[in-house]
């Protein structure tokens, strides 16, 4: 696989040989043949005075440490500050990264069995592990432990006042849930449960017992790791 033409910060794409232009390479070789900076250059579209779109793309890639996951975690306002970007180009890159995240999420179909913490991680990690804020989800299971519905309860700093049993179990009762699994992420990448995580879990497990809708697990998603309350004996 070719790595693409060398980094030329002042050479505009239209000045490259036709065979080396990212759009032509995309058309003839497919997107998988392009380097990450080349793909970013297609999103950026054009350069500016003294710099090419490919040069700006290399700058963005280096700014993110060569990691698309790190780039996806950065706020749009920070990306706008990279030399040669601005609101329109930063918005295009952020939108493309979000589309990629949603594409990965579509691999998790409702109805998939969630019989172990590994199943839960496989179903939710692509969506949650790189978010810059916490999201708290409730996976509603049917009698065969299949995912019937995924409900986002809160977004932001996890707080017991926001993840109230009333909000969680209203949906569970309406959906006639057989059981629940709680899932949320830690933007730090470290899935170690906090005191607030433990308090929220205790409240929801107790409410589930009263309502006859058991909480089977609480899985915290980190970066490449997870912690299961059930596996850790914390339920």
State the total domains in the chain.
2
* Shared-domain flag, residues 135 and 172: yes
Question: Structural domain of residue 74, as residue ranges?
Answer: 13-105
* Shared-domain flag, residues 80 and 182: no
Question: Domain for residue 112, yes or no?
Answer: no
pLDDT at 160: 52
Question: Domain for residue 204, yes or no?
Answer: yes
Domain end marker among 78, 105, 132: 105
Please say whether the beta carbons of 13 and 22 come within 8 A: yes
* Shared-domain flag, residues 74 and 156: no
* Shared-domain flag, residues 124 and 185: yes
Contacts of 200 (CB under 8 A, 6+ apart): 136, 158, 160, 163, 182
pLDDT at 159: 55
Q: What is the DSSP string of 86-131?
A: -HHHHHHHHHHHHHHHHHHHTTS-TT-B--SHHHHHHHHHHHHTT-
* Shared-domain flag, residues 147 and 74: no
* Shared-domain flag, residues 101 and 125: no
Question: Domain for residue 223, yes or no?
Answer: yes
Question: Domain for residue 39, yes or no?
Answer: yes
* Shared-domain flag, residues 101 and 121: no
pLDDT at 108: 52
Contacts of 9 (CB under 8 A, 6+ apart): 51, 52, 55, 58
* Shared-domain flag, residues 98 and 121: no
* Shared-domain flag, residues 91 and 157: no
Question: Domain for residue 169, yes or no?
Answer: yes
pLDDT at 119: 93
In tens digits, the chain (235 residues) has pLDDT values of 334 444 444 455 665 665 667 778 878 778 877 888 888 988 888 766 677 888 889 889 999 888 888 888 888 889 998 888 889 988 999 898 888 877 766 655 556 789 999 999 988 998 888 888 889 999 999 999 999 888 888 887 655 556 778 878 988 888 889 999 999 999 999 999 999 999 999 999 999 999 999 999 999 999 889 999 999 999 8
The candidate with the shortest Cα–Cα distance to 20, out of 32, 4, 8, 9, is 4
pLDDT at 9: 47
* Shared-domain flag, residues 101 and 166: no
Tell me the whole-structure pTM to 2 decimals.
Answer: 0.61
Contacts of 13 (CB under 8 A, 6+ apart): 21, 22, 23, 41, 47, 52, 53, 54
* Shared-domain flag, residues 100 and 122: no
Question: Domain for residue 147, yes or no?
Answer: yes
Cα 171 from Cα 151, distance rounded (Å):
8
Helix (H, G, I), strand (E, B), or coil: what is residue 150? strand
Q: Read off the CATH number of the domain in which 219 is found.
A: 3.40.140.10
Helix (H) or strand (E) holding 138: strand 135-141
The candidate with the shortest Cα–Cα distance to 209, out of 169, 158, 170, 176, is 169
Count of alpha carbons within 13 angstroms of residue 166, beta-carbon side: 2
- Distance of alpha carbon 137 from the chain centroid: 14
Between helix 195-211 and helix 165-174 the angle, nearest 10°, is 40
* Shared-domain flag, residues 168 and 93: no
Contacts of 41 (CB under 8 A, 6+ apart): 13, 22, 52, 53, 54, 56, 57
């Amino acid at each position: 696989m070719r790595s693409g033409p060398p980094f030329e910060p002042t050479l505009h794409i239209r000045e490259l040989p036709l065979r080396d232009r990212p759009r032509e390479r995309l058309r003839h070789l497919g997107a998988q043949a392009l380097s990450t900076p080349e793909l970013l250059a297609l999103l950026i579209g054009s350069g500016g005075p003294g710099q090419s779109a490919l040069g700006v793309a290399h700058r963005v890639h280096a700014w993110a440490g060569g990691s698309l996951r790190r780039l996806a975690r950065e706020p749009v306002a920070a990306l706008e500050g990279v030399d040669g970007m601005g609101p329109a180009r930063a918005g295009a890159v952020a939108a493309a990264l979000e589309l990629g995240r949603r594409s990965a999420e579509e691999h998790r179909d409702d109805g998939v069995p969630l019989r172990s913490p590994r199943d839960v991680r496989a179903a939710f990690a692509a969506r949650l592990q790189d978010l810059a804020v916490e999201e708290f989800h409730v996976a509603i299971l049917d009698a065969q432990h299949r995912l019937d519905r995924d409900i986002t309860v809160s977004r932001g700093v996890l707080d017991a006042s926001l993840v109230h049993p009333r909000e969680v179990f209203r949906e569970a009762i309406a959906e006639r849930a057989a059981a629940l699994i709680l899932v949320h992420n830690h933007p730090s990448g470290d899935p170690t449960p906090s005191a607030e995580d433990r308090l929220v879990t205790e409240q929801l497990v107790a409410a589930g017992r009263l309502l006859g809708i058991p909480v089977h697990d609480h899985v915290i998603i980190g970066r490449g790791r997870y912690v299961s309350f059930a596996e850790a004996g914390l339920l």
